[in-house]
Amino acid sequence: MSLSAAEDRRIRALRPPKPRVDPEVAHGSLVEDERRPDGRVERALTVFLAGAECPFTCTFCDLWRYTIEGSTPAGALTRQLRRVLDQHRGAAIQRIKLYNASNFFDPRAVPLADLEAIASLCASFGGVTVESHVNTVGARTLDFARRIAGRLEVAVGLETIHPIAASKLNKKLDLARFADAARFLHDNGIDLRVFVLLGAPHVPVEESVEWTVRAVEHAAEQGAAVVSIIPVRAGNGEVDRLQALGDFTPPTLAQLEEALESCVGIAGTVVTADLWDAERLPGCDTCRAARVARLQLMNVGGRREPRVACASCGAA
C-alpha cells in the first residue's frame, strides 16, 4: 500500500458514522444574491446534489457526510435537479450552482450519460457553476462547457498556500498544478471560482488571517473571478485529532470579519465569506447576528461596512 493510500485509510478510520443519503433526493437548495467582478449582482440558485463521494481524502473535509456509498446511479442527478428546478419555476435566476460534495468531472460522481440531460436542464441560466478538484479539470470540463447554453464556472479548492500546512492537507495538490488548471480554464473561456480556508490545520493561529489573505491574493493573481473564504469546521475525526494535538484551532467569527475586511479592494476578484454554519463559529452571542449581517452586506456590496460595537464583548 502506498503512503498516500495508507494516509487515506487512517483519516477515513477516524470518521464518525456516515448518515444514509438517498441518491434520489437532493439535500436542498438556496437562492441568494451574488456579486460578480463586473459589479453585477446575480440571483443564484445553489442545488446541493446527492452523489458519489470524492476519491480525495483531505484532512479538513466533512462533505463526505453528504455523499452516497458507491457510484452515483445513472439518471439520479437529473431527477434530483429536475425536482428542485420545478420548485423554483418562474423565479428570476441568472446563475445555477451544482454542488455535489465531490468532483463534477469524476464519472463516478456524475455519470457521463447524464451530462447532456443536466446541460439541458441548465439551458435557461446565463452562468453554470460546478465544483471540482483541480486534478479532474480537463477534457470533460471542455465537453460540459460546450454542452451548456451559458458560461461555465469551475469552483476549486486552493485551501492554503502556507507551505507546511499545504503539504499536510492530503489534498494531492501543489501550486504548479493549480496554476496549470487556472490557465487551462482561462484559455478556454471558463471562469474560475476558488475556495480558501480560514483556520487551516498546521497554520499557527496568530498567522491564520494573514495566510488566508495571502491565499486569496494568490487566487486573484491566478485569475479567480470569485474567492470564498471558508472557516474550517471540526467534527470529521481528523480535525478533532489535530485540535487535540494543538495543530488546529477553530477560527472565530472575528477572524472571518478581519479576513474579509483585509480582502476588500482586491481588483478583478469578488471575495466573500462563507456563512454556512456561522452560528458555530466561536464568538460573542450578543453581537453574532449583527456581525453575520455585516458580513452578508460586505459579500454582496464589496465594501467595508461599519464595525459592530458590543458592550458584552467590548468590540468597537
Q: Give 15-34 pLDDT, tens digit per residue.
A: 999 999 999 999 999 999 99
Check pLDDT > 60 for residue 1. Answer: no
Q: What is the pLDDT confidence band of residue 158, given thresholds at 50, 70 and 90?
A: very high
Check pLDDT > 60 for residue 312. Answer: yes
Put simply, whether the predicted model's pTM sits higher than 0.85 gets the answer yes
Average pLDDT over residues 238-252: 97
Cα 165 off chain centre by: 18
CB 134 within 8 A of CB 173: yes
311: DSSP letter: T
**Amino acid of residue 51:** G
Count of alpha carbons within 13 angstroms of residue 128, beta-carbon side: 21
| 3-state secondary structure at position 154 | strand
- Give 173-178's long-range contacts (Cβ < 8 A, gap of 24+): 173/133, 173/134, 173/135, 175/218, 177/134, 177/135, 178/134, 178/222
Count of alpha carbons within 13 angstroms of residue 111, beta-carbon side: 15
Residue 263's pLDDT is 97
| 3-state secondary structure at position 13 | helix
* Residue whose C-alpha cell reads 458519489 in the numeric block: 52
| 3-state secondary structure at position 4 | helix
Could you tell me the three cell numbers for 96?
445555477
Residue 51's pLDDT is 98
Check pLDDT > 70 for residue 2. Answer: no
- Minimum mean pLDDT range among 156-160, 210-214, 271-275, 310-314: 310-314
Sheet order of strands, 28-35 included: 28-35, 41-48, 95-99, 127-131, 151-159, 191-198, 226-231, 270-273
Residue 12's pLDDT is 96
- Burial readout 148-174 (b: 16 or more C-beta within 10 A, e: otherwise): bebebbbbbbbbbbbeebbebbbbebe
Residue 315's pLDDT is 79
As a CATH number, domain 3-281 is 3.20.20.70
* Residue whose C-alpha cell reads 458590543 in the numeric block: 310
Rounded CA separation 193/226 (Å): 5
Distances (CA, A) of 148 to 96, 117, 143, 212, 302: 12, 10, 9, 33, 29
